[in-house]
Structure 1
Amino acid sequence: MPNSLEPHPVAAQARQAAEDAARTAGVTVVDEHDLEKQRDIDALLVQIWGTSPQGSPVPFDILRAISHAGCNITAAYRPDGTLCGAAVAIVTPGSTATYSLIAGVAPGTGDRGVGFALKQHQRAWSLERGIDTMTWTFDPLVSRNARFNLAKLGAHVSEYTRNFYGLMEDEINAGDESDRLTAVWPLATRTAVDCSEGRPRAVELPDLADAAVLGTGPDGEPHLLGHGETLWVRAPRDIVSLRAQDPALASAWRMALRNVLEPAFASGRVADGVTRTGWYRLSPTLVENTVAAAQGLVTHA
């Protein structure tokens, strides 16, 4: 095991929330150590992301090494035993943070809660090992993922990295640059507990009549708004389809978000929510309860 810390006080709440999420999604979520089933995970990741010149997103031999090192490989199975989702996370010895390498669900499985169940399992796995933070990167243009990460899970972002992986040639990224946001998910805050129990962050775009339009997007519609001390910036609704249909327009959206998010984070702002229509909320500071479980959150266990 790569971590010898004592379980976090909120670990029991996390485990119950993970079990509830799996039950709601109609799946069984487990730590997967079996060799052949890890081959199935490799195949599923290829099914989701396609392949690049380097091959699978996380090849089978890497999965085996991660498993052998005592890190996390999570798998979700339907009642008939079919693999329908997987997530992989690593942690270094003595660390209090887990790094999630990849998480995805089988095509046609979206909106069934499987992805949420995978992440709640990872949360419980981490807290049971005394790890209270998880980080990962994601594409700022994929607004659906951004909302899941920031509103439904309770993560936040204050770091933007240009071309994190270099040019990506898998089927989803379609040759686009790989700008990434770094999600930071505090696993034991009041926000994390509320989200795990089905109470996501409330993120509502202000009435446009009450907001100042500070910029327009590549589609000519309002893209950047100011409302009080808060900024709001819009991502496209479906960047994956847009990349296939109009790569030049997709690249224009990349630059539009880059030109807002980089300076916003440099000035100390934090992205702490995304609306259903793809608007990031950029708050002056992160406002939430970050008190650890030992100071009250264990009442949810």
Structure 2
Amino acid sequence: MSLTLEAHPAARHAREAATAAAERAGVTVIEETDREKLRDIEGLLVSIWGTSPHGAPVPFDILRAISHAGCNISAAYLPDGTLCGAAVAIVTPGDTATYSFIAGVAPGIADKGVGFALKQHQRAWSLDRGIETMTWTFDPLVSRNARFNLSKLGAHVRQYERNFYGLMEDEINANDESDRLVAVWPLSSETSIACGEGTPRDVELPELGATTILKHGPDGEPQLLRSNDSTADDTLWCRAPRDIVALRASDPEQAALWRITMRESFETAFAAGYQADGVTRTGWYRLSK
């Protein structure tokens, strides 16, 4: 794929935002093409997700092919040259969107902004090629990732996919079904530009007295709320569990109930014309008409 500078009016701003994000995180982010460095990326992904009966999350030969095809492999390095994060993306037919299918940061530095820097690098890479949209899927039960995707980056969700990959057999997903939300990130929107500058789309859950409880979660606490404020246009609030990874290990039956509960809440809301466009710090999705 050929690179055309300034292929999109927002491309220069996106590059500046990506550079600033990397500086704040204390890393250097590049498009990695070196064969041996791609082997390191395979190892990093294994250190994050472990292995399944199928092997590494993304094997070296697949990474090599993706790079050779001109698609994107973004890698983040600490000042001493240590690889600390990577993100991999391909381009959909007709160069209409970038599809980011894995991104991860080394254990222990998840709160340093490396993941944000990687996504901003992918955003700049896409806009440099005239691509205005990025999509990916993520687990609706992982509220931390949901907040990152919707509030910190500015993506939104209108689609729920049941058991997208089939039964997950890696060490994090612990044989759970692989329901996924489909994130759509409009790379040049005002929201995405603001997020790229470090101003997230923060949302706050209304006081419980200002909402109507529609459903309780497996833990007995409210899980689905409707705002009573007429100016909120029937906004819904959908709660994810605090830490689904720990819950899968300690109480797999309740974790499975959360999967069913979230599936029902999202599918009903999306069918009624809602979209998820933000997540609170306490794990509540905001769904707006």
Q: TM-score, normalised by structure 1?
A: 0.92
5+ residue gaps, structure 1, are 285-301
Contact 2:105 2:115 in 1 (8 A): yes
The aligned counterpart of 2:144 is 144
1:283-294 maps to which residues of 2 (within 5 A)? Answer: 283-284=288-289
Task: Write the distance in 2 (CA, Å) between the matches of 1:268 and 1:4.
Answer: 38
**CA shift at 1:270, angstroms?**
0.2
Task: Write the distance in 2 (CA, Å) between the matches of 1:166 and 1:92.
Answer: 22
Query: Kindly, what percent of the aligned residue pairs are identical?
Result: 73
**CA shift at 1:7, angstroms?**
1.1
Contact 1:2 1:91 in 2 (8 A): no
The aligned counterpart of 1:214 is 214
5+ residue gaps, structure 2, are 229-233
**Distance change in 2, residues 1:92/1:161 (3 Å):** closer
The aligned counterpart of 1:276 is 281
The aligned counterpart of 2:102 is 102
1:159-178 maps to which residues of 2 (within 5 A)? Answer: 159-178=159-178
The aligned counterpart of 1:197 is 197
Per-residue CA shift, 1:180-228, capped at 9, x if unaligned? 0000000000000000001110211001111111111100111111104
Count how many residue pairs are aligned between Structure 1 and Structure 2: 284
The aligned counterpart of 2:60 is 60
Q: Provide the secondary structure at the position in 2 that maps to 1:149.
A: helix
Task: Write the distance in 2 (CA, Å) between the matches of 1:3 and 1:62.
Answer: 22
Per-residue CA shift, 1:57-96, capped at 9, x if unaligned? 1110000000000000000000010000000000145322
The aligned counterpart of 2:269 is 264
Task: Write the distance in 2 (CA, Å) between the matches of 1:161 and 1:129.
Answer: 29
2:86 maps to a residue whose letter is A
The aligned counterpart of 2:119 is 119
1:12-27 maps to which residues of 2 (within 5 A)? Answer: 12-27=12-27
Contact 2:6 2:12 in 1 (8 A): no
Task: Write the distance in 1 (CA, Å) between the matches of 2:268 and 2:225.
Answer: 15
Task: Write the distance in 2 (CA, Å) between the matches of 1:232 and 1:73.
Answer: 35
Q: Provide the secondary structure at the position in 1 that maps to 2:94.
A: coil
Contact 2:3 2:128 in 1 (8 A): no
Contact 1:32 1:38 in 2 (8 A): yes
The aligned counterpart of 1:232 is 237
The aligned counterpart of 2:49 is 49
Contact 1:3 1:93 in 2 (8 A): no
Contact 1:3 1:92 in 2 (8 A): no
Contact 2:137 2:181 in 1 (8 A): yes
Q: TM-score, normalised by structure 2?
A: 0.96
Q: Provide the secondary structure at the position in 2 that maps to 1:173.
A: coil
Per-residue CA shift, 1:105-127, capped at 9, x if unaligned? 00001110000000000000000
Contact 1:52 1:170 in 2 (8 A): yes
Contact 2:160 2:181 in 1 (8 A): yes
Contact 2:154 2:195 in 1 (8 A): yes
**CA shift at 1:4, angstroms?**
6.7
Task: Write the distance in 1 (CA, Å) between the matches of 2:5 and 2:272.
Answer: 35
* Runs of 4 or more consecutive aligned structure 1 residues displaced over 4 Å after TM superposition: 2-6
Task: Write the distance in 1 (CA, Å) between the matches of 2:145 and 2:280.
Answer: 11
2:281 maps to a residue whose letter is R
